[in-house]
Structure 1
Amino acid sequence: MTLGAGRNPSPFFVPQREERKIILLYYKNIKKKGEYIMHDFLSQLKPIREITCLIFGAIGSAITFIFGEWTEGMATLVILMVIDYITGCLVAAVFKNSLKTEGGGLKSSVGYQGLVKKFVELLIVACMYRVDLLLGLDYLRNLCILGFVLNEIISITENAGLMGIPLPAAVTKAIELLNSKSKDEGE
């Protein structure tokens, strides 16, 4: 018996009772095969998932061991580092107004130096955490983080000024004062 045999085929074909059973069995078999295929696929991914969890767990444990607990200060510092790097790249790439290159444009070695500086800042935070542990204190790392956070805020503000974003006079005077003091101490 074929489906719809002896009838006028139409787009509104409604199968009869026997034909419905055949169609339901067909779709149940397809569904079962699809479930088996998905189950086999997911069972093959299980070792990959376990290895990935192991790797990320080890990285997280190492970061916690090196930097201590993940505080709001650390999160703020990392977020501001990313924002500073992005705004610095935008100043050089889009506005061609970077103070660190001759033409003001983007230069990979300058970007690499920026990343290295940020990495060293994080190493200093790690050192302060270890000194805190050694001396039984709980504030050297936080003071270090606070200093770097302020430095990042100043750098982001400078980048905004280089983009042509109008800054309040008090902010520009404060940045000029801090830059002149740092140049005086460097000489």
Structure 2
Amino acid sequence: METMLTKIKAAMTGVCGVVTAVFGWLGWLVIGWAACMLLDYVTGSIAAARAENWSSAAARDGLYHKLGMIVAVLVGAAADGLLGIIINNLPGIALPFDYNALICPLVLCWYIITELGSITENAAALGAPLPPFLQKILACVQSGTEAAGEKLAGNEKEK
């Protein structure tokens, strides 16, 4: 048993090392987002089944929704790639740092917060008591993420 546990720990350490080496911190954002999407889908399905309201059409729509989110993240990654090529290689544009990613992490953070909100709604539907501050905190973080994106897009609201 201990040998099996050691092998599992070694495999997990290896996977974590590979993800970090290949994708860095952005890879962990993607993994966190994928885990949130999976947990949201599973808890949503369980909550619907508990309420005797589960339907394959609704489950399929949920998967289509998740596919749309994946496409949006890929668009953010493509935009980051294009901006990186432009900023890092065009003469006349000089920044004191290399541009790697900005849009995709913002999109990922926004989706992670959205998924966490949905997961908390599912938890409530399953009968779990929720701390009153949890949804307020998630709303504040989402608002901050949206404000950062709006500022990046040049749509910052004047105070």
TM-score of Structure 1 vs Structure 2, range by shorter chain: 0.5 to 0.7
Q: How does 1:117-156 map to 2 (within 5 A)?
A: 117-136=65-84, 137=99, 138-156=101-119
Instruction: Kindly indicate whether residue 158 of structure 2 is the aligned counterpart of residue 158 of structure 1.
Output: no
CA deviation digits over 1:121-178, x for unaligned, max 9? Answer: 0110000011011111411001100000000000000000011100112235567999
TM-score (norm 1): 0.50
1:176–1:134: structure 2 CA closer, same or farther, 3 Å change rule? Answer: closer
Which of structures 1 and 2 has the larger relative contact order (alpha carbons within 8 angstroms, sep 6+)?
2
Residues 117 and 135 in structure 2, CA contact (< 8 A), matched pair in contact too: no
Equivalent residue runs for 1:18-97 within 5 Å: 69=23, 71-93=27-49, 95-96=50-51
Q: How many percent identity over aligned positions? A: 28
Q: How many residues align?
A: 103
Distance of 2:113 and 2:133 partners within structure 1? 16
TM-score, with structure 2 as normaliser: 0.59
Residues 12-52 of structure 1: CA distance to partner in whole angstroms, max 9, x if unpaired? xxxxxxxxxxxxxxxxxxxxxxxxxxxxxxxxxxxxxxxxx
Q: Give the greater-gyration-radius structure (CA).
A: 1
Is contact 2:113–2:138 with CA below 8 Å preserved after alignment? no
Gap regions ≥5 residues in structure 2: 1-21, 85-98, 143-159
Q: Report if aligned partners of 2:73, 2:104 keep a CA contact under 8 Å in 1.
A: yes
